[in-house]
Structure 1
Protein backbone atom coordinates (compact mmCIF):
# COMPACT_ATOMS: atom_id res chain seq x y z
CA UNK A 1 0.00 0.00 0.00
CA UNK A 2 1.16 3.54 -0.65
CA UNK A 3 2.05 5.94 2.13
CA UNK A 4 -1.00 7.96 3.21
CA UNK A 5 -0.72 11.74 3.00
CA UNK A 6 -1.34 14.02 5.93
CA UNK A 7 -4.77 15.65 5.70
CA UNK A 8 -3.19 19.10 5.70
CA UNK A 9 -1.01 18.16 2.69
CA UNK A 10 -3.75 16.67 0.52
CA UNK A 11 -4.81 20.03 -0.91
CA UNK A 12 -1.25 20.60 -2.12
CA UNK A 13 -1.76 17.83 -4.68
CA UNK A 14 -5.00 19.27 -6.10
CA UNK A 15 -5.69 19.01 -9.84
CA UNK A 16 -8.59 20.06 -12.08
CA UNK A 17 -10.84 17.76 -14.13
CA UNK A 18 -14.03 18.24 -16.09
CA UNK A 19 -16.03 17.02 -13.10
CA UNK A 20 -14.34 19.18 -10.48
CA UNK A 21 -11.21 19.56 -8.36
CA UNK A 22 -9.58 16.46 -6.87
CA UNK A 23 -6.54 15.71 -4.72
CA UNK A 24 -4.49 12.69 -3.70
CA UNK A 25 -5.06 10.97 -0.37
CA UNK A 26 -2.01 8.72 -0.78
CA UNK A 27 1.46 9.65 -1.91
CA UNK A 28 1.90 9.44 -5.68
CA UNK A 29 5.21 8.25 -7.11
CA UNK A 30 5.19 11.27 -9.40
CA UNK A 31 5.46 13.68 -6.48
CA UNK A 32 8.79 15.15 -5.44
CA UNK A 33 10.57 13.21 -2.67
CA UNK A 34 7.98 10.42 -2.95
CA UNK A 35 10.72 7.88 -3.58
CA UNK A 36 12.69 8.90 -0.51
CA UNK A 37 9.57 8.89 1.67
CA UNK A 38 8.61 5.46 0.37
CA UNK A 39 12.13 4.13 1.06
CA UNK A 40 11.97 5.39 4.66
CA UNK A 41 8.63 3.67 5.06
CA UNK A 42 10.04 0.37 3.75
CA UNK A 43 13.10 0.64 6.01
CA UNK A 44 10.85 1.16 9.00
CA UNK A 45 8.50 -1.68 8.03
CA UNK A 46 11.29 -4.24 7.52
CA UNK A 47 13.60 -3.00 10.27
CA UNK A 48 13.01 -6.05 12.47
CA UNK A 49 13.18 -8.48 9.53
CA UNK A 50 16.65 -7.63 8.26
CA UNK A 51 19.04 -10.53 8.73
CA UNK A 52 16.23 -12.88 9.75
CA UNK A 53 13.72 -13.15 6.90
CA UNK A 54 15.29 -10.62 4.49
CA UNK A 55 18.87 -10.63 3.24
CA UNK A 56 20.58 -7.51 1.94
CA UNK A 57 21.62 -7.77 -1.72
CA UNK A 58 25.39 -8.16 -1.66
CA UNK A 59 26.07 -10.63 -4.44
CA UNK A 60 26.52 -7.85 -7.00
CA UNK A 61 29.16 -6.13 -4.85
CA UNK A 62 32.70 -7.52 -5.04
CA UNK A 63 35.04 -7.12 -2.12
CA UNK A 64 38.20 -7.52 -4.20
CA UNK A 65 39.87 -4.75 -6.23
CA UNK A 66 39.12 -4.40 -9.93
CA UNK A 67 41.89 -5.84 -12.11
CA UNK A 68 42.23 -5.72 -15.90
CA UNK A 69 43.80 -9.09 -16.78
CA UNK A 70 45.55 -10.21 -19.98
CA UNK A 71 42.57 -12.43 -20.78
CA UNK A 72 40.20 -9.48 -20.47
CA UNK A 73 42.44 -7.39 -22.75
CA UNK A 74 42.47 -10.12 -25.41
CA UNK A 75 38.69 -10.45 -25.28
CA UNK A 76 38.31 -6.67 -25.56
CA UNK A 77 40.64 -6.47 -28.57
CA UNK A 78 38.83 -9.33 -30.33
CA UNK A 79 35.49 -7.62 -29.78
CA UNK A 80 36.84 -4.29 -31.06
CA UNK A 81 38.35 -5.97 -34.11
CA UNK A 82 35.09 -7.75 -34.90
CA UNK A 83 33.02 -4.56 -34.61
CA UNK A 84 35.43 -2.57 -36.79
CA UNK A 85 35.37 -5.29 -39.48
CA UNK A 86 31.59 -5.33 -39.89
CA UNK A 87 30.39 -4.44 -43.42
CA UNK A 88 29.63 -0.74 -43.70
CA UNK A 89 27.38 1.18 -46.05
CA UNK A 90 29.08 3.73 -48.27
CA UNK A 91 28.17 7.41 -48.38
CA UNK A 92 27.82 8.64 -51.98
CA UNK A 93 29.83 11.63 -53.15
CA UNK A 94 28.08 14.69 -54.63
CA UNK A 95 26.85 14.06 -58.20
CA UNK A 96 28.33 10.55 -58.13
CA UNK A 97 26.57 8.02 -60.34
CA UNK A 98 24.88 5.29 -58.32
CA UNK A 99 24.10 1.76 -59.46
CA UNK A 100 20.83 -0.04 -58.74
CA UNK A 101 19.91 -3.70 -59.00
CA UNK A 102 16.26 -4.77 -59.02
CA UNK A 103 14.59 -8.05 -58.19
CA UNK A 104 10.96 -9.18 -58.28
CA UNK A 105 9.36 -12.51 -57.43
CA UNK A 106 5.78 -13.67 -57.06
CA UNK A 107 5.32 -12.15 -53.61
CA UNK A 108 8.06 -9.57 -53.06
CA UNK A 109 10.16 -6.83 -54.66
CA UNK A 110 13.55 -5.43 -53.64
CA UNK A 111 16.30 -3.07 -54.75
CA UNK A 112 19.93 -2.46 -53.85
CA UNK A 113 21.67 0.90 -54.36
CA UNK A 114 25.47 0.81 -54.68
CA UNK A 115 28.49 2.90 -55.54
CA UNK A 116 31.22 1.66 -57.88
CA UNK A 117 34.73 2.94 -57.22
CA UNK A 118 37.74 1.28 -58.74
CA UNK A 119 35.74 -1.72 -59.97
CA UNK A 120 34.52 -2.31 -56.39
CA UNK A 121 30.80 -2.05 -55.66
CA UNK A 122 29.81 -0.99 -52.13
CA UNK A 123 26.20 -0.99 -50.85
CA UNK A 124 24.53 2.32 -50.05
CA UNK A 125 20.97 1.24 -49.25
CA UNK A 126 18.83 -1.91 -49.18
CA UNK A 127 15.03 -1.89 -49.49
CA UNK A 128 12.40 -4.60 -49.94
CA UNK A 129 8.74 -5.26 -49.25
CA UNK A 130 6.07 -7.88 -49.82
CA UNK A 131 3.49 -7.44 -52.55
CA UNK A 132 -0.09 -6.99 -51.45
CA UNK A 133 -3.56 -7.25 -52.94
CA UNK A 134 -3.77 -6.58 -56.70
CA UNK A 135 0.02 -6.28 -56.91
CA UNK A 136 0.26 -10.07 -56.66
CA UNK A 137 -1.52 -10.28 -60.03
CA UNK A 138 0.92 -7.98 -61.85
CA UNK A 139 2.96 -9.43 -64.68
CA UNK A 140 6.66 -10.14 -63.99
CA UNK A 141 7.65 -7.04 -65.96
CA UNK A 142 5.19 -4.84 -64.05
CA UNK A 143 6.55 -6.16 -60.75
CA UNK A 144 10.08 -5.31 -61.85
CA UNK A 145 9.05 -1.77 -62.80
CA UNK A 146 7.15 -1.52 -59.51
CA UNK A 147 10.38 -2.31 -57.65
CA UNK A 148 12.03 0.65 -59.42
CA UNK A 149 9.08 2.91 -58.59
CA UNK A 150 9.21 1.75 -54.97
CA UNK A 151 12.93 2.55 -54.85
CA UNK A 152 12.41 5.99 -56.41
CA UNK A 153 9.85 6.85 -53.72
CA UNK A 154 11.79 5.47 -50.75
CA UNK A 155 15.16 6.80 -51.93
CA UNK A 156 13.90 10.02 -53.45
CA UNK A 157 16.79 12.13 -52.15
CA UNK A 158 19.32 9.84 -53.80
CA UNK A 159 17.39 9.88 -57.09
CA UNK A 160 17.16 13.68 -57.06
CA UNK A 161 20.84 14.29 -56.26
CA UNK A 162 22.53 11.55 -58.30
CA UNK A 163 22.28 9.95 -61.75
CA UNK A 164 21.03 6.38 -61.36
CA UNK A 165 22.16 3.50 -63.56
CA UNK A 166 19.74 0.56 -63.40
CA UNK A 167 21.54 -2.69 -64.15
CA UNK A 168 19.07 -5.17 -65.63
CA UNK A 169 18.72 -7.70 -68.41
CA UNK A 170 15.04 -6.78 -68.91
CA UNK A 171 13.78 -4.18 -71.46
CA UNK A 172 12.26 -1.90 -68.84
CA UNK A 173 12.79 1.31 -70.81
CA UNK A 174 11.32 -0.13 -74.02
CA UNK A 175 8.25 -1.49 -72.23
CA UNK A 176 7.43 1.81 -70.51
CA UNK A 177 7.97 3.86 -73.69
CA UNK A 178 5.58 1.82 -75.83
CA UNK A 179 2.53 3.82 -76.99
CA UNK A 180 0.18 0.94 -76.10
CA UNK A 181 1.63 0.41 -72.61
CA UNK A 182 -0.84 -0.31 -69.82
CA UNK A 183 -2.17 2.62 -67.83
CA UNK A 184 -0.10 1.96 -64.74
CA UNK A 185 3.09 1.62 -66.82
CA UNK A 186 2.45 5.00 -68.44
CA UNK A 187 1.86 6.52 -65.00
CA UNK A 188 5.09 5.02 -63.68
CA UNK A 189 6.98 6.17 -66.77
CA UNK A 190 5.90 9.77 -66.18
CA UNK A 191 6.86 9.57 -62.51
CA UNK A 192 10.30 8.12 -63.26
CA UNK A 193 10.87 10.62 -66.08
CA UNK A 194 11.72 13.39 -63.60
CA UNK A 195 14.88 11.53 -62.56
CA UNK A 196 18.16 10.99 -64.41
CA UNK A 197 17.85 7.22 -64.91
CA UNK A 198 19.76 5.16 -67.45
CA UNK A 199 19.52 1.43 -68.13
CA UNK A 200 22.50 -0.84 -68.69
CA UNK A 201 22.81 -4.56 -69.41
CA UNK A 202 23.84 -6.72 -66.51
CA UNK A 203 27.43 -7.94 -66.73
CA UNK A 204 28.03 -8.84 -63.06
CA UNK A 205 25.82 -10.78 -60.67
CA UNK A 206 27.38 -9.63 -57.40
CA UNK A 207 24.94 -6.79 -56.82
CA UNK A 208 22.06 -8.82 -58.22
CA UNK A 209 22.67 -11.51 -55.59
CA UNK A 210 22.01 -8.93 -52.87
CA UNK A 211 18.69 -7.93 -54.42
CA UNK A 212 17.63 -11.57 -54.85
CA UNK A 213 18.60 -12.32 -51.26
CA UNK A 214 16.35 -9.53 -49.99
CA UNK A 215 13.50 -11.01 -51.99
CA UNK A 216 14.04 -14.40 -50.37
CA UNK A 217 13.72 -12.80 -46.94
CA UNK A 218 10.55 -10.93 -47.91
CA UNK A 219 9.09 -14.10 -49.44
CA UNK A 220 9.76 -16.09 -46.27
CA UNK A 221 8.06 -13.41 -44.20
CA UNK A 222 5.13 -13.44 -46.59
CA UNK A 223 4.74 -17.22 -46.37
CA UNK A 224 4.85 -17.19 -42.57
CA UNK A 225 1.84 -14.87 -42.40
CA UNK A 226 -1.69 -15.58 -43.49
CA UNK A 227 -2.58 -13.84 -46.73
CA UNK A 228 -6.19 -13.23 -47.62
CA UNK A 229 -7.29 -14.85 -50.84
CA UNK A 230 -7.39 -12.39 -53.69
CA UNK A 231 -10.95 -11.69 -54.72
CA UNK A 232 -11.54 -12.13 -58.45
CA UNK A 233 -13.38 -9.15 -59.90
CA UNK A 234 -14.92 -9.07 -63.36
CA UNK A 235 -13.59 -7.02 -66.28
CA UNK A 236 -16.04 -4.93 -68.33
CA UNK A 237 -16.09 -5.08 -72.14
CA UNK A 238 -17.79 -2.50 -74.40
CA UNK A 239 -18.08 -3.14 -78.14
CA UNK A 240 -19.26 -1.16 -81.15
CA UNK A 241 -19.14 -1.74 -84.88
CA UNK A 242 -19.70 0.17 -88.09
CA UNK A 243 -19.84 -0.46 -91.80
CA UNK A 244 -19.40 1.83 -94.81
CA UNK A 245 -18.42 1.75 -98.46
CA UNK A 246 -14.70 1.59 -97.61
CA UNK A 247 -15.09 -1.39 -95.28
CA UNK A 248 -16.15 -2.39 -91.81
CA UNK A 249 -14.59 -2.62 -88.38
CA UNK A 250 -15.17 -2.79 -84.66
CA UNK A 251 -13.95 -1.08 -81.52
CA UNK A 252 -13.39 -2.65 -78.12
CA UNK A 253 -12.98 -0.99 -74.71
CA UNK A 254 -11.87 -3.34 -71.93
CA UNK A 255 -11.91 -1.96 -68.37
CA UNK A 256 -10.18 -3.79 -65.51
CA UNK A 257 -11.30 -3.70 -61.83
CA UNK A 258 -8.89 -0.80 -61.18
CA UNK A 259 -10.69 1.34 -63.76
CA UNK A 260 -7.88 1.24 -66.33
CA UNK A 261 -9.16 1.15 -69.92
CA UNK A 262 -7.61 -0.80 -72.80
CA UNK A 263 -8.80 0.29 -76.26
CA UNK A 264 -8.54 -1.91 -79.35
CA UNK A 265 -9.59 -1.30 -82.97
CA UNK A 266 -10.26 -4.07 -85.49
CA UNK A 267 -10.63 -3.69 -89.26
CA UNK A 268 -12.38 -6.52 -91.04
CA UNK A 269 -11.09 -7.84 -94.35
CA UNK A 270 -14.61 -8.75 -95.47
CA UNK A 271 -17.88 -6.93 -96.11
CA UNK A 272 -20.33 -6.78 -93.20
CA UNK A 273 -23.42 -4.83 -92.18
CA UNK A 274 -23.52 -2.61 -89.10
CA UNK A 275 -25.24 -5.30 -87.05
CA UNK A 276 -22.80 -7.96 -88.21
CA UNK A 277 -19.82 -5.73 -87.40
CA UNK A 278 -21.19 -5.04 -83.92
Structure 2
Protein backbone atom coordinates (compact mmCIF):
# COMPACT_ATOMS: atom_id res chain seq x y z
CA UNK A 1 0.00 0.00 0.00
CA UNK A 2 2.93 2.31 0.79
CA UNK A 3 4.24 2.09 -2.78
CA UNK A 4 0.77 2.78 -4.22
CA UNK A 5 0.29 5.74 -1.90
CA UNK A 6 3.66 7.18 -2.90
CA UNK A 7 2.74 6.97 -6.59
CA UNK A 8 -0.66 8.59 -5.99
CA UNK A 9 0.75 11.37 -3.86
CA UNK A 10 3.50 12.08 -6.38
CA UNK A 11 0.83 12.54 -9.03
CA UNK A 12 -1.20 14.79 -6.76
CA UNK A 13 1.90 16.89 -5.99
CA UNK A 14 2.58 17.43 -9.68
CA UNK A 15 -1.00 18.52 -10.32
CA UNK A 16 -0.99 20.80 -7.28
CA UNK A 17 1.97 22.77 -8.60
CA UNK A 18 -0.27 23.81 -11.47
CA UNK A 19 -3.19 24.91 -9.31
CA UNK A 20 -1.74 25.90 -5.92
CA UNK A 21 -2.54 29.59 -6.20
CA UNK A 22 -6.33 29.30 -6.42
CA UNK A 23 -9.35 27.28 -5.48
CA UNK A 24 -8.75 23.51 -5.54
CA UNK A 25 -8.86 22.35 -9.15
CA UNK A 26 -11.81 20.07 -9.77
CA UNK A 27 -12.13 17.28 -12.28
CA UNK A 28 -15.20 15.38 -13.37
CA UNK A 29 -14.89 11.63 -12.78
CA UNK A 30 -17.42 11.04 -15.55
CA UNK A 31 -15.09 12.41 -18.22
CA UNK A 32 -13.39 9.76 -20.33
CA UNK A 33 -15.33 6.91 -18.73
CA UNK A 34 -18.04 6.28 -21.29
CA UNK A 35 -20.31 3.38 -20.40
CA UNK A 36 -19.08 3.06 -16.82
CA UNK A 37 -21.19 3.07 -13.67
CA UNK A 38 -19.53 6.36 -12.64
CA UNK A 39 -20.75 8.06 -15.82
CA UNK A 40 -24.29 6.78 -15.76
CA UNK A 41 -25.06 6.79 -12.05
CA UNK A 42 -22.89 9.41 -10.29
CA UNK A 43 -25.78 11.82 -9.80
CA UNK A 44 -28.05 9.04 -8.49
CA UNK A 45 -25.76 7.99 -5.65
CA UNK A 46 -25.89 9.25 -2.06
CA UNK A 47 -22.47 10.48 -0.90
CA UNK A 48 -21.51 10.53 2.77
CA UNK A 49 -19.54 13.73 3.47
CA UNK A 50 -18.19 15.51 6.50
CA UNK A 51 -20.30 18.61 7.17
CA UNK A 52 -18.33 21.75 6.34
CA UNK A 53 -15.60 19.88 4.48
CA UNK A 54 -14.11 20.27 1.02
CA UNK A 55 -15.78 16.98 0.09
CA UNK A 56 -19.22 18.38 0.91
CA UNK A 57 -18.49 21.52 -1.11
CA UNK A 58 -17.54 19.47 -4.17
CA UNK A 59 -20.67 17.29 -3.91
CA UNK A 60 -22.89 20.38 -3.66
CA UNK A 61 -21.12 21.99 -6.61
CA UNK A 62 -21.88 18.92 -8.70
CA UNK A 63 -25.49 18.70 -7.48
CA UNK A 64 -24.94 15.28 -5.92
CA UNK A 65 -27.09 13.94 -3.08
CA UNK A 66 -25.27 14.07 0.25
CA UNK A 67 -25.51 12.47 3.67
CA UNK A 68 -23.64 14.92 5.95
CA UNK A 69 -21.98 13.40 9.03
CA UNK A 70 -19.89 14.79 11.87
CA UNK A 71 -16.43 13.51 10.88
CA UNK A 72 -14.70 12.10 7.79
CA UNK A 73 -14.15 8.78 9.53
CA UNK A 74 -17.92 8.47 9.91
CA UNK A 75 -18.36 8.61 6.13
CA UNK A 76 -16.51 5.30 5.84
CA UNK A 77 -18.82 3.75 8.43
CA UNK A 78 -21.80 4.89 6.33
CA UNK A 79 -20.45 3.23 3.18
CA UNK A 80 -19.44 0.06 5.03
CA UNK A 81 -22.92 -0.19 6.57
CA UNK A 82 -24.60 0.42 3.22
CA UNK A 83 -26.41 3.56 4.43
CA UNK A 84 -24.59 5.63 1.78
CA UNK A 85 -23.50 4.54 -1.69
CA UNK A 86 -20.15 6.31 -1.56
CA UNK A 87 -18.09 8.78 0.45
CA UNK A 88 -16.01 11.79 -0.53
CA UNK A 89 -12.96 12.15 1.70
CA UNK A 90 -9.32 13.22 1.66
CA UNK A 91 -6.86 11.05 -0.26
CA UNK A 92 -4.58 10.83 2.78
CA UNK A 93 -7.38 9.36 4.89
CA UNK A 94 -8.55 7.03 2.12
CA UNK A 95 -5.03 5.64 1.68
CA UNK A 96 -4.63 5.12 5.44
CA UNK A 97 -8.04 3.60 6.20
CA UNK A 98 -9.24 1.64 3.16
CA UNK A 99 -7.98 -1.46 1.40
CA UNK A 100 -6.10 -4.55 2.52
CA UNK A 101 -4.61 -4.36 6.00
CA UNK A 102 -6.65 -1.31 7.07
CA UNK A 103 -9.74 -0.58 9.16
CA UNK A 104 -11.94 -0.94 6.03
CA UNK A 105 -10.43 -3.69 3.86
CA UNK A 106 -13.59 -3.99 1.76
CA UNK A 107 -13.64 -0.33 0.71
CA UNK A 108 -11.75 1.13 -2.22
CA UNK A 109 -11.21 4.59 -3.69
CA UNK A 110 -10.98 6.08 -7.15
CA UNK A 111 -7.37 7.16 -7.67
CA UNK A 112 -8.43 9.69 -10.32
CA UNK A 113 -9.63 12.03 -7.59
CA UNK A 114 -12.01 14.97 -7.80
CA UNK A 115 -9.57 17.75 -6.89
CA UNK A 116 -6.00 18.69 -6.23
CA UNK A 117 -5.50 20.82 -3.14
CA UNK A 118 -3.29 21.71 -0.19
CA UNK A 119 -3.55 21.58 3.58
CA UNK A 120 -2.95 24.57 5.84
CA UNK A 121 -3.42 25.57 9.47
CA UNK A 122 -6.01 28.19 10.46
CA UNK A 123 -5.68 30.96 13.06
CA UNK A 124 -7.89 33.92 13.86
CA UNK A 125 -7.97 36.65 11.22
CA UNK A 126 -4.95 38.92 11.73
CA UNK A 127 -3.40 36.57 14.32
CA UNK A 128 0.38 36.56 14.72
CA UNK A 129 0.17 32.85 15.57
CA UNK A 130 0.09 31.94 11.87
CA UNK A 131 3.55 33.44 11.25
CA UNK A 132 4.85 31.87 14.44
CA UNK A 133 3.69 28.44 13.22
CA UNK A 134 5.16 29.13 9.76
CA UNK A 135 8.56 29.65 11.37
CA UNK A 136 8.26 26.48 13.43
CA UNK A 137 7.31 24.53 10.30
CA UNK A 138 10.29 26.07 8.45
CA UNK A 139 12.70 25.02 11.19
CA UNK A 140 11.16 21.55 11.48
CA UNK A 141 11.39 21.05 7.72
CA UNK A 142 15.00 22.22 7.59
CA UNK A 143 16.22 20.01 10.45
CA UNK A 144 14.31 16.92 9.29
CA UNK A 145 11.80 16.79 12.16
CA UNK A 146 8.85 17.33 9.85
CA UNK A 147 9.92 14.55 7.48
CA UNK A 148 10.59 12.18 10.39
CA UNK A 149 7.06 12.70 11.74
CA UNK A 150 5.55 12.39 8.25
CA UNK A 151 7.42 9.12 7.70
CA UNK A 152 5.92 7.70 10.90
CA UNK A 153 2.50 7.96 9.20
CA UNK A 154 3.76 7.11 5.68
CA UNK A 155 3.02 10.65 4.49
CA UNK A 156 6.50 11.87 3.56
CA UNK A 157 5.73 11.95 -0.18
CA UNK A 158 2.92 14.45 0.39
CA UNK A 159 5.03 17.06 2.22
CA UNK A 160 5.29 20.55 0.76
CA UNK A 161 8.73 22.15 1.04
CA UNK A 162 8.67 24.98 3.56
CA UNK A 163 10.12 28.45 2.85
CA UNK A 164 12.82 29.73 5.19
CA UNK A 165 11.78 31.24 8.51
CA UNK A 166 11.24 35.01 8.55
CA UNK A 167 12.23 37.64 11.07
CA UNK A 168 9.32 37.86 13.46
CA UNK A 169 8.50 39.59 16.74
CA UNK A 170 5.18 38.58 18.35
CA UNK A 171 2.85 41.46 19.21
CA UNK A 172 2.51 42.32 22.90
CA UNK A 173 -1.27 42.01 22.56
CA UNK A 174 -1.31 39.23 19.95
CA UNK A 175 -2.36 35.59 20.05
CA UNK A 176 1.16 34.30 20.74
CA UNK A 177 1.33 36.37 23.94
CA UNK A 178 -2.27 35.41 24.81
CA UNK A 179 -1.51 31.68 24.48
CA UNK A 180 1.73 31.90 26.43
CA UNK A 181 -0.01 33.85 29.19
CA UNK A 182 -2.77 31.26 29.63
CA UNK A 183 -0.30 28.40 29.27
CA UNK A 184 -2.28 26.28 26.81
CA UNK A 185 -2.49 25.93 23.03
CA UNK A 186 -6.03 24.73 22.27
CA UNK A 187 -6.19 22.86 18.96
CA UNK A 188 -9.53 22.36 17.20
CA UNK A 189 -9.75 18.97 15.48
CA UNK A 190 -11.98 16.12 14.39
CA UNK A 191 -10.97 12.47 14.59
CA UNK A 192 -9.16 12.12 11.28
CA UNK A 193 -6.60 9.37 10.72
CA UNK A 194 -3.72 9.87 9.87
CA UNK A 195 -3.81 13.54 10.97
CA UNK A 196 -5.52 13.53 14.41
CA UNK A 197 -6.68 10.30 16.05
CA UNK A 198 -6.32 8.38 19.32
CA UNK A 199 -3.90 5.54 19.97
CA UNK A 200 -4.68 2.46 22.04
CA UNK A 201 -4.03 4.47 25.21
CA UNK A 202 -6.47 7.21 24.27
CA UNK A 203 -3.73 9.73 23.45
CA UNK A 204 -4.01 11.99 20.40
CA UNK A 205 -1.49 11.14 17.70
CA UNK A 206 -1.16 11.67 13.95
CA UNK A 207 0.90 14.04 11.83
CA UNK A 208 -1.05 17.17 12.76
CA UNK A 209 -1.27 16.23 16.44
CA UNK A 210 2.48 15.56 16.62
CA UNK A 211 3.36 18.82 14.87
CA UNK A 212 0.98 20.75 17.15
CA UNK A 213 2.92 19.31 20.08
CA UNK A 214 6.13 20.64 18.53
CA UNK A 215 4.60 24.14 18.26
CA UNK A 216 3.30 23.99 21.84
CA UNK A 217 6.76 23.01 23.07
CA UNK A 218 8.29 25.98 21.23
CA UNK A 219 5.68 28.26 22.80
CA UNK A 220 6.45 26.81 26.22
CA UNK A 221 2.84 25.76 26.85
CA UNK A 222 0.73 22.62 27.16
CA UNK A 223 -1.29 21.39 24.19
CA UNK A 224 -4.99 20.55 24.43
CA UNK A 225 -6.95 18.89 21.62
CA UNK A 226 -10.67 19.69 21.40
CA UNK A 227 -13.02 17.86 19.04
CA UNK A 228 -15.29 20.40 17.34
CA UNK A 229 -18.12 20.42 14.85
CA UNK A 230 -16.11 21.11 11.70
CA UNK A 231 -19.05 22.89 10.14
CA UNK A 232 -18.72 25.50 12.93
CA UNK A 233 -14.94 25.77 12.84
CA UNK A 234 -14.77 29.52 12.10
CA UNK A 235 -17.16 30.29 14.98
CA UNK A 236 -15.11 28.08 17.34
CA UNK A 237 -11.96 29.94 16.33
CA UNK A 238 -13.36 33.47 16.50
CA UNK A 239 -15.02 32.87 19.87
CA UNK A 240 -11.64 31.68 21.27
CA UNK A 241 -12.96 28.25 22.14
CA UNK A 242 -9.90 27.08 20.21
CA UNK A 243 -6.68 28.87 19.27
CA UNK A 244 -5.95 27.08 16.01
CA UNK A 245 -7.60 24.73 13.49
CA UNK A 246 -5.15 21.95 12.70
CA UNK A 247 -6.90 19.00 11.12
CA UNK A 248 -5.94 18.43 7.49
CA UNK A 249 -7.76 21.61 6.52
CA UNK A 250 -8.05 22.31 2.79
CA UNK A 251 -7.00 25.84 1.83
CA UNK A 252 -10.12 26.88 -0.08
CA UNK A 253 -10.85 30.51 -0.91
CA UNK A 254 -13.51 30.54 1.82
CA UNK A 255 -11.02 29.32 4.41
CA UNK A 256 -8.34 31.80 3.37
CA UNK A 257 -10.82 34.68 3.47
CA UNK A 258 -12.17 33.70 6.89
CA UNK A 259 -8.98 33.18 8.85
CA UNK A 260 -5.22 33.74 8.93
CA UNK A 261 -3.70 30.66 7.32
CA UNK A 262 -0.20 29.25 7.41
CA UNK A 263 1.83 28.23 4.41
CA UNK A 264 0.61 24.95 2.88
CA UNK A 265 2.37 21.91 4.28
CA UNK A 266 0.74 18.89 2.56
CA UNK A 267 -0.59 18.04 -0.88
CA UNK A 268 -3.92 16.25 -0.97
CA UNK A 269 -6.96 15.43 -3.12
CA UNK A 270 -10.63 14.58 -2.62
CA UNK A 271 -11.49 11.02 -3.68
CA UNK A 272 -14.63 8.89 -3.95
CA UNK A 273 -14.73 5.80 -1.74
CA UNK A 274 -17.06 2.89 -2.51
CA UNK A 275 -17.53 -0.71 -1.42
CA UNK A 276 -15.18 -3.04 -3.27
CA UNK A 277 -16.50 -5.33 -5.95
- What TM-score, normalized to structure 2? 0.20
Bigger CA radius of gyration: 1
- What TM-score, normalized to structure 1? 0.20
Q: Which has the higher contact order (CA 8 A, sep 6+)?
A: 2
